[in-house]
Amino acid sequence: MSQIEILYPAFAMFSLTMLCVFRLGLMRFHAIRSRAVKISYYRTYNEGSQPDNLHLMSRHVQNHFEIPPLFYVGIILGFISGNEALVTLIFAWLFVAARVVHSFIHLTNNNVTYRFFTFGFSLICLCGLWISVLYNIL
């Protein structure tokens, strides 16, 4: 593995996040246009309400700014420390794959049990990534 390869999963995770952010923006635009939501709702988020599908998508986008930043920091530490361990790359790609599956579940059938186990698997992959980076630094 070359050192630069550790950045590819970060670009993939960024792409997933941006896909969700832009989808949310389009959904909000269409909701306002169809008068399902008043534009004033987005001023303070407490003037009226939004449809459940918008709330779900908003929550999903927010979720991309909770755990994934720890992933990005792990990737950056792996990169600047010159980590070329294949196990680090595997954990990074598994984390991204789990987050893609998590997004699919959350935004389709939203089966909480499957979503929980997928989220848990992504956390295990994140811990594996960090342990691998730490091991290689030490």
> Distance (Å, rounded) from C-alpha 95 to C-alpha 84?
17
Confidence of residue 29 (pLDDT cuts 50, 70, 90): very high
Largest CA distance in the chain: 57
What are phi and psi for residue 31, nearest 5 degrees? -65, -40
Answer whether 64's CB lies under 8 Å from 95's CB.
no
pLDDT of 35-78, one tens digit each?
A: 999 998 998 988 888 999 999 999 999 999 999 999 999 999 99
| Mean pLDDT score, 99-106 | 98
> Which residue ranges form the domains of the chain, and what is each CATH number?
3-137 (1.20.120.550)
| Mean pLDDT score, 108-117 | 97
> Who wins on pLDDT, 49 or 116?
116
Is the pLDDT at 132 greater than 80? The verdict is yes
In the chain, % of residues over pLDDT 70 = 100
Average per-residue pLDDT for the chain: 96
pLDDT, residue 76, reads 97
Is the pLDDT at 14 greater than 90? The verdict is yes
Q: What b-and-e string marks burial along 1-18, b requiring 16 or more CB atoms within 10 Å of the CB? A: eeeeebeebbebbeebbe
